[in-house]
Structures are given as structure tokens and as C-alpha cells.
Amino acid sequence: MQFKNHKNATCFRRVWTKSCQKIEYFYKTRISPFGNFGNYLIGGLVLGLGFMFIFAKLAGEMLENELKLFDQIVLNTISLISSPLITRLMKGLTQMGSPATMIFLALIVWFYLSKIKKHFWDSNMVITALAGSWFMNELLKWAFHRNRPEIVRLVKATGYSFPSGHAMVSFAFYGMLAYLMWINLDNRNLRYFFTFLFLFLVFAIGISRIYLGVHYASDVLAGFAAGGFWLVGCILGLQAIRYYKSNDSRGWK
């Protein structure tokens, strides 16, 4: 019996070693030549698949009507902090995820990056992150046709509920701004500050949509997942452009 176990263990180690060697060979020959872009590619694919899985899981459970308890628990928890002051704060936060606010900010950032800093692709990717996530959100809402919560709403909201447009678009838009700050700012403290600020803002916008009664918690989570998927695609696209533009030896202009 011990001999058999030892033989199985040896066989397993051989298979494991061989698999690791194949993965290492694939990385060195297929991914590693791309340098940092190869790392972005692998990380992006993992994150993108993760966001896609989360969205698919939420969508499936929503269609099977299995999210009622979760949504109710989150709503009850958030309602514990209800007060006139918090309501005013939440109304202000939700405006940061409104189309008017994000379009205004996107135009300012686009002008600064394209006209002052001369970062053509960075500036246009900001518009892509905003417009693309917005358009995709409309398609997803039309596809799932989930009605908004039937409770007292503290702000006006029209259209379908799943996924949350504020959550999805703000994740993609403010996430792109955080990423551009991270790669363009030399000051490490400023990079961490703006990254934390934008992430907190996105989270707060999502909470505000639940608090104000216009979205279920699952709508917001699905919006984060879909927005994250689009953000990863935009970042990979920007890094691909940077890689090929810097690789003059291969004839890219």
C-alpha cells in the first residue's frame, strides 16, 4: 500500500513538474516577449474573466428570482443610517454619477490631456470608457428588463434597473481616471490619494443608489462587474497602443 501511494505521489510530481514547464515555456515564448504589456495582458484577462463571472452569476440568480433576500438585507442595513443629513449627502454623491456630471468632467479631462499634455490616446480612452460603458449599460438594461424597486424613491429615476447605470459607468469612467493618474503622476503619494479617492467615490455612488431607493444592491454589484469588465478592456486597449507605438523596430508608427 505504501509503495502504491509513493508511486502515485511520484507520478503526480512528474505531471505537475511537466505542466509547470509547459506553462513557463508558453509564457517565455508567447507572453514574455511583450514585456510589461504581456503582464498587463495576463492580469487583464484574469480580471476580465473574474468580472464576467460575477456579472453572469448575478444575472443568472436575478433571472431565477434568487436575490430577493440579499437585496432586502442590504437595503435594511443601509436604511439604518437614514437621516435628513445623510439623504442630502447621498443626493450629492449620486449626482457625481449622473450623465451631466461625468460628461462635463470627461470634456475637461479630454481637453487637458489632448490639448495641453498632448496625450492623444489617453484623452480618447477617457471618452471611450465613458461612452462605451454607457452604451453597453443601455443594451444590458434592455436585455434584462428588470423593474426598479417598488419602494419610496428619494430621487427620480426612469428606465430599467439591472445593471445600475450609475454604478457601471462611474466604475468605468472614474476607474479610467484613477488608472491615468497612476501611470502619469510621478508623486507616489498623489497616486495613492487619487486612486483611493476615485475608488471611494465609485463605492459611494453605488451605495447612494441603494439608499435613495432607485436600485437593488444586486443592480449595483452587477454594474460594478460590467463596468470593471469594460474598464479592463479599455486599459488593455490603451496598453496595446502604447506597446505597438513604442515598438519602432517592428514597423509600428
Chain Cα centroid distance, residue 21: 33
- One digit per residue, pLDDT tens: the chain, 253 residues? 544 445 544 565 665 566 655 555 555 555 445 556 666 677 778 888 999 999 999 999 998 888 889 999 998 888 888 889 999 999 999 999 999 999 999 999 999 888 887 778 888 899 999 999 999 999 999 999 888 888 777 788 888 899 999 999 999 999 999 998 888 887 888 888 988 999 999 999 999 999 998 999 999 999 999 999 999 999 988 887 777 766 654 443 3
Answer yes or no: do 181 and 79 share one domain: yes
Answer yes or no: do 128 and 6 share one domain: no
Answer yes or no: do 43 and 69 share one domain: yes
How many domains are contained in the chain? 2
Answer yes or no: do 79 and 7 share one domain: no
* Cβ atoms within 10 Å, residue 164: 31
Answer yes or no: do 29 and 44 share one domain: no
Answer yes or no: do 100 and 155 share one domain: yes
Answer yes or no: do 49 and 86 share one domain: yes
Answer yes or no: do 84 and 143 share one domain: yes
Answer yes or no: do 155 and 44 share one domain: yes
Answer yes or no: do 17 and 94 share one domain: no
Q: Are 218 and 62 in contact (CB under 8 A)?
A: yes
Answer yes or no: do 133 and 26 share one domain: no
Distance CA(55)–CA(218), nearest Å, equals 10
Tell me the residue range of the domain where 15 lies. 1-33
Q: Are 157 and 214 in contact (CB under 8 A)?
A: yes
Answer yes or no: do 126 and 220 share one domain: yes
DSSP class per residue in the chain: -HHHHHHHHHHHHHHHHHHHHHHHHHIIIIIGGGTHHHHHHHHHHHHHHHHHHHHHHHHHHHHTT--HHHHHHHHHHHHTT--HHHHHHHHHHHHTTSHHHHHHHHHHHHHIIIIIS--HHHHHHHHHHHHHHHHHHHHHHHHH-PPPPSS--SS---S--SS-HHHHHHHHHHHHHHHHHHHH---HHHHHHHHHHHHHHHHHHHHHHHHTTSS-HHHHHHHHHHHHHHHHHHHHHHHHHHHHHH-GGGT--
